[in-house]
Amino acid sequence: MADQPPNPKIESNFVMERGIPKDDAKFTIVLVHGFGSSKDMNFNVSQKKLGYFVLYDRAGYGESDPNPKRSLKSEASDVQELADGLQIGSRFYLIGISMGSYTVWSCSNIFHKGVAMVAPVVNYRWPSIPKSLMKNDYRREVLKWSFWIAKYFPGLLHWWVTQNMFPTTSMLEKTPANYFNDQDIEVLKHTKGFPNAHDFLVAFADWDFDPADLPDPFPSAREKSPSSVHIWQGYEDKVIPFQLQRCLCHKLAWIKYHEVSKGGHLIVHYEGVCDAILKSLLLGEDLPMYKPKAVVTEP
């Protein structure tokens, strides 16, 4: 996607505009990056003229100043301020990647054209998550330790994450935090990140709402656009298990659920996935290959 010059009404150092000019675009898409990423994230689409894309550095990432008081509310305010500054009003679609999905959830009261969350984080503190799905999930304990480190020793978070999540393949094989499948590991070899303690604390602290209790944000448009909210998940995701996403989507029937059968947590970097995300969100075109696979259980 070709870069576009930033709008003079907002600070250009933490915003990047790609695709075709805003005034010529049929679709406006705001992309929210994840943990250890920035506005420079790669969202690879073949249809470069499909829309006008806006990426921005969330608080504490890239060129954006840290916000020690960041919260779900401030994340939503940042998105609204961005939309106002770029004068895109309520015309935009919102796509949150991994940790950036909590920003999307925080915007539940300002949802506009439609949203998609790709490998979204799940907070084990949500009351809606059945205890049966958490009981033997080692990821819950790892997140608990990571949260504790982020809260009391934020300077150590970078070391904790890089030593347990983002090192070489050989190190990954030796640690309990083996969060990535083979395709993910290939992506990580070419990825640089900078974990942010405040980001981690907001995502996994107590929320003032449970996503499972949210009302349909597009009830009046349901007949015309039955899939205005989407979740994309990798079946082999070792960061967030697919069972949690399926459980949430079962409770929220207005969410369109897509699953990448051999996908890990970094499916946004897989060839063809970004194209599929956009076609489903913007055009209502869904590929059969991303329908959830049946889970076979032993008798």
> What's the rounded Cα separation, in Å, for the pair 195 and 177?
16
In 175-241, where does DSSP find H-type helix?
A: 182-188, 197-204
Question: In whole angstroms, what is the distance from residue 180 CA to residue 238 CA?
Answer: 6
Kindly list the structural domains of the chain, giving each domain's residue range(s) and its CATH number in brackets, ordered by start: 3-128+208-290 (3.40.50.1820)
What is d(CA 90, CA 84) in angstroms, rounded to the nearest whole number?
Answer: 9
Instruction: Name the strands in the sheet holding 15-19, side by side, starting at the edge strand that comes first in the sequence.
Output: 3-4, 15-19, 52-56, 28-32, 92-97, 114-118, 229-234, 255-260
Which of the 8 DSSP states describes residue 199? H
Please count the residues of the chain.
299
What pLDDT was estimated at residue 113? 87
pLDDT at 263: 94
- How many whole angstroms separate alpha carbon 218 and alpha carbon 195? 34
Residue 238: the pLDDT is: 86
Please state, in angstroms and rounded to a whole number, the distance separating the CA atoms of residues 296 and 261: 14
Instruction: Return per-residue pLDDT of the chain as tens, 299 residues.
Output: 545 544 544 556 889 999 999 999 999 999 999 988 899 998 988 876 789 999 999 998 888 888 888 999 999 999 999 999 999 988 899 999 999 999 999 998 777 789 999 999 999 999 999 988 887 776 677 677 677 677 776 666 656 555 554 433 333 333 434 556 677 556 655 555 555 677 878 888 899 999 999 988 877 655 555 458 999 999 999 888 899 999 999 999 999 999 999 999 999 999 999 999 999 999 999 999 999 977 544 43
Structure token digits, residue 182: 């083979």
Q: 195 near 35, Cβ under 8 Å? A: yes
DSSP secondary structure string, 221-234?
GTTT-S-SEEEEEE
pLDDT, residue 231, reads 97
Nearest to 205 by CA among 152, 163, 151, 161: 151
Report whether 91 contacts 23 (CB < 8 A).
no
